[in-house]
Amino acid sequence: MRTTSLPTPTALRRRSPWRLAAGLTSTLAVLALLGAFGVVPESPSDNPAETPEVAAEASEAEREETGSSSPAATESTPTPSENTDTSADEEPEATPAPVEPQSFSGTGSEVVMLEPLGEDVFYATVTHDGSSNIALWSVDENGQDIDLLVNEIGGYEGEVAVNFGEDPAALRVEADGAWTIDLVPLSEAPRWDGEGVHEDHGDSILIVDGVADGLTPVTLTHDGESNFAIWAWGESYPDLIVNDIGVYEGTTLLPDGSLVLQVDADGSWTISTN
């Protein structure tokens, strides 16, 4: 029987909060609007009564006295139609490359180091062909156990969450036989749209994005002999919606906004809407 204690994630799809300063935003919006139409705000004249003709004559007389040349002859002033915006020359921020799936195999007890998982979310398919116990822990960068992912006797094949919560730096295996661990992007997990009956066997990962909108009753069955538990993962929680032993049939609510189901089972199980 496998027992699992999961940390609460900050978000299944990680997001960063953003804020806007209203005063600054308003100022920038006004300047951007003016710039788009080539309008440059002008300072008011010191002498409102002075006409353009008088101002031009005074300026000409002043230049003749000082012998200076016209500013227009020595300096080119950008006109409103000239594009002085340099933002077009700025390169867009590089998008991080997706993390490649990772695969491991071995016999007996071993520790495997993981490449950084970044923003990507993974689950793992795990197999074991031994006759004794197989246990699989996720481990943080300080060498501390994060979660017991698998704890079974004998042959095993199943799917388990890897970094739905914390990011592990390694996986620690205890086994007596040959084993394999394949990390798979969450996007490749089986998907259920809420129509009909979905059936699977053993430990499984199932995408249910879009199924739970408000109150959504679901009927669940299990024909195994050991623990049957289901966690519903959303934006900021894992919610334990079933936790029983052996054969099970019952109806419960799928939490609003559920994205993924993590199923712990040793037999065949089903899920369907009412």
First to last CA, the chain: 30
The continuous run of DSSP H or E covering 62 comes out as: helix 52-66
134 touches 150 (CB < 8 A) = yes
- What integer best gives the mean pLDDT of the chain? 77
Which of 1-15, 88-102, 260-274 is the least confident region?
Answer: 1-15
Tell me the three state secondary structure of residue 34. helix
Residue-wise pLDDT for 59-72, tens only, equals 555 555 555 444 44
- The pLDDT assigned to 89 comes to 59
Any idea which fold 101-188 has?
Jelly Rolls (2.60.120)
Residue-wise pLDDT for 25-49, tens only, equals 333 333 333 233 343 444 444 444 4
Higher pLDDT, 117 or 51: 117
139 touches 174 (CB < 8 A) = no
DSSP letter, residue 27: H
Q: What is the CATH number of domain 189-274?
A: 2.60.120.1050
Domain assignments of the chain as residue spans, ordered by start: 101-188, 189-274
Residue-wise pLDDT for 231-274, tens only, equals 999 987 799 999 999 999 999 999 999 999 999 999 999 999 97
Examine domains 101-188 and 189-274 and report if their fold is the same: yes
Residue-wise pLDDT for 111-168, tens only, equals 999 999 988 999 999 999 999 999 999 999 999 999 999 999 999 999 999 999 899 9
Which of 7-11, 100-104, 155-159 is the least confident region?
Answer: 7-11
